Amino acid sequence: MAELPTSASVVIIGGGVMGLSTAYHLARAGVADVVLVERDTLGSGSTCKAAGGVRAQFSDPVNILLGQRSLRAYERFAVELGQELDLQRSGYLFLLDDPDHVAAFEDNVALQTSLGVPSRMISPAEAKALSPMVELDGILAAAWSPEDGHCTPESVVLGYAGGARRAGARIVQHCAVTGIDVVDGQVRGVLTEAGPIATDTVVCAAGAWSRAVGEMVGVELPVEPVRRQILTTEPMPGLDPATPFTIDFATSLYFHLEGPGLLLGMSDPDERPGFELGRTDAWLPRLGEAIERRVPALADVGIASGWAGLYEMTPDHNALVGEADGVSRFLYATGFSGHGFLMGPAIGEVLRDLVLGRTPPVDVAGLSVDRFGSGVRPELNIV
Ligand SMILES: Cc1cc2nc3c(=O)[nH]c(=O)nc-3n(C[C@H](O)[C@H](O)[C@H](O)COP(=O)(O)OP(=O)(O)OC[C@H]3O[C@@H](n4cnc5c(N)ncnc54)[C@H](O)[C@@H]3O)c2cc1C
């Protein structure tokens, strides 16, 4: 563990994509004495468990803008941060077999294109031409955006960590935050396993563990951990290198190219909230059925490896981003409900501006934790 600083202008709790992007953007803006504290190693939470999908195809304007701005940042990342990302702009293809889903995606595409996203509805035959392994049984239409894609989470972690350090931020690993000292409604410091850090500003970027951090200052952050699993296949000779990130929306089965094979995943509706991270077989029969129907060519391919990670779910599947009212100053960026990797760059800029009292590049007022009870509509386009 690096030596613990005794004071900081801002303490960021959590060394995933959100915390690291925030540290980088704050330090690059000239903020001195930024300290990020991670209880394990950088990226060890959900970030390095992500499938790496990056997209702007959402149903909510704020999510579209955050996704779009982050795509631009991931395009520049290798040059700006000196770290290759293996960014594959192979597009995202949503396969739709339910008339209600088709109608909803038509509305989403209209909204996305009004905001400059080059998405469009395409026919089943066009979808098959883009993703040749899919079986079209029951498919009515598909939504497609060629600018979406996927990249490598570990590289994003390395890039932002290096960039943040070069700009002067301090990163302390293997050091859990155990409490936050608040006096008369003002943050005075952060308590860690290795000792206290005096500060008046805390950013919670603790992912699936954020509820406990919010409790340290009496702020309820409604984030629930839910396990998700991923498998990678043995090499599959003859794979089309242009294969998009393909999603069978009704079952949530998805796959994309990963080295010489595929990475695939699917949600498990029986999974209950909890911090359990062991791999289980309970989801495999349902996964097998979805594969048999939609990608039968995959049924006989060997599995090379797999892992489990945590989605950080909120009641409406939208993120929580903002500054708490009741305590000064406690900011939060969490609850990305399974699509935080793709929003990390833009959220780092937003947090920088909220800390500095500037107007952020995307208006995130609707993502305040105060929204619950006000009947906001949920993000529908999560996988
Ligand atoms: C299987 C899977 C697939 C996914 N696929 C995608 C995808 O394709 N695209 C996409 O956009 N998103 C995807 N996601 C979601 C994405 O991984 C998350 O939304 C994102 O990584 C959240 O980043 P974060 O920085 O908020 O949290 P995390 O990466 O979880 O970081 C939080 C960190 O806080 C630390 N921490 C917690 N409490 C404390 C404490 N008290 N003191 C110090 N440190 C603490 C943790 O150790 C952790 O490292 C996927 C997630 C999973 C599980």
- Residue ending a domain, choose from 313, 343, 365: 313
CATH of the domain at 164: 3.50.50.60
**Measuring from atom 4 of ligand 1, which residue has the nearest CA?**
50
Same domain, 201 and 232: no
Residue 338 is given by DSSP the state: T
DSSP 88: B
Contacts of 124 (CB under 8 A, 6+ apart): 136, 139, 140, 141, 142
Residue nearest to atom 35 of ligand 1 (CA): 14
Q: Which of 278, 294, 313 is the last residue in one of the domains?
A: 313
Q: What is the CATH number of the domain that holds 132?
A: 3.30.9.10
202 — pLDDT class (breaks 50, 70, 90): very high
Host domain of residue 34: 10-49+154-223+316-373
Pair 131, 244 in one domain? yes
Tell me which of 380 and 271 has the higher pLDDT: 271
The pTM of the full predicted model, rounded to 2 decimals, is 0.96
Place of tokens 């939609």: 294
The Cα 140–Cα 315 span in angstroms is 30
Task: Count CB neighbours of 218 within 10 A.
Answer: 13
Q: Are 267 and 346 within one domain?
A: no
For atom 37 of ligand 1, which residue has the closest CA? 206
Chain centroid to Cα 257, Å, comes to 19
pLDDT for res 42: 98
Tell whether 345 is covered by a domain: yes
Residues 306 and 257 in one domain: yes
Ligand 1 first shell, C-beta below 6 A: 13-19, 37-40, 44-47, 49-53, 176-177, 205-209, 213, 228, 230, 265, 309-312, 334, 336, 338-342
The tens digit of pLDDT for each residue in 319-370 reads 999 999 989 999 999 999 999 999 999 999 999 999 999 999 999 999 999 9
Beta bridge partners of 183: 186
Q: Does residue 380 carry a pLDDT above 80?
A: no
61 domain residue, yes or no = no
CB 162 within 8 A of CB 24: no
Same structural domain for residues 262 and 183? Answer: no
Length of the chain, in residues:
383
Q: Do 277 and 140 lie in a common domain? A: yes
Residue 244 in any domain: the answer is yes
**Helical residues (DSSP H) of the chain, grouped into ranges:** 17-28, 61-81, 99-114, 124-130, 153-166, 210-215, 284-294, 344-356
3-state secondary structure of 202: strand
Shared domain check, 137 and 236: yes
> Is there a single domain that holds both residue 192 and residue 212?
yes
Beta strand segments in the chain, E: 10-13, 34-37, 53-54, 92-96, 120-122, 141-145, 149-150, 170-172, 177-183, 186-192, 195-198, 202-204, 224-233, 245-248, 253-258, 261-265, 303-313, 320-323, 330-334
Pocket test for ligand 1, best of 44, 253, 341, 367 (most atoms within 8 A of CB): 341
To test the pocket of ligand 1, the residue of 64, 151, 175, 209 to mutate (highest count of ligand atoms within 8 Å of its CB) is 209
Look at residue 376 in the predicted model and tell me its pLDDT: 54
Per residue in 128-185, pLDDT (tens digit) is: 999 999 999 999 999 999 999 999 999 999 999 999 999 999 999 999 999 999 999 9
Evaluate whether residue 334 is within a structural domain: yes
Shared domain for 229 and 255, answered yes or no, is: yes
Let me know whether 34 and 159 are in one domain. yes
Q: What are the tokens at 102?
A: 């088709």
240 and 300, same domain (yes or no)? yes
- Ligand 1, atom 26, lies closest to the CA of 207
Number of independent structural domains in the chain: 2
Q: Is the dihedral of CA 74, 63, 244, 118 positive or negative?
A: negative
- Distance (angstroms) between ligand 1 centre and the Cα of 62 equals 20
Alpha carbon distance 173, 301 (integer Å): 39
Residue 203: inside a domain, yes or no? Answer: yes
In tens, the pLDDT along 264-322 reads: 999 999 999 999 999 999 999 999 999 999 999 999 999 999 999 999 999 999 999 99
Asked, for residue 354, whether it belongs to a domain, the answer is yes
248 and 208 within one domain: no
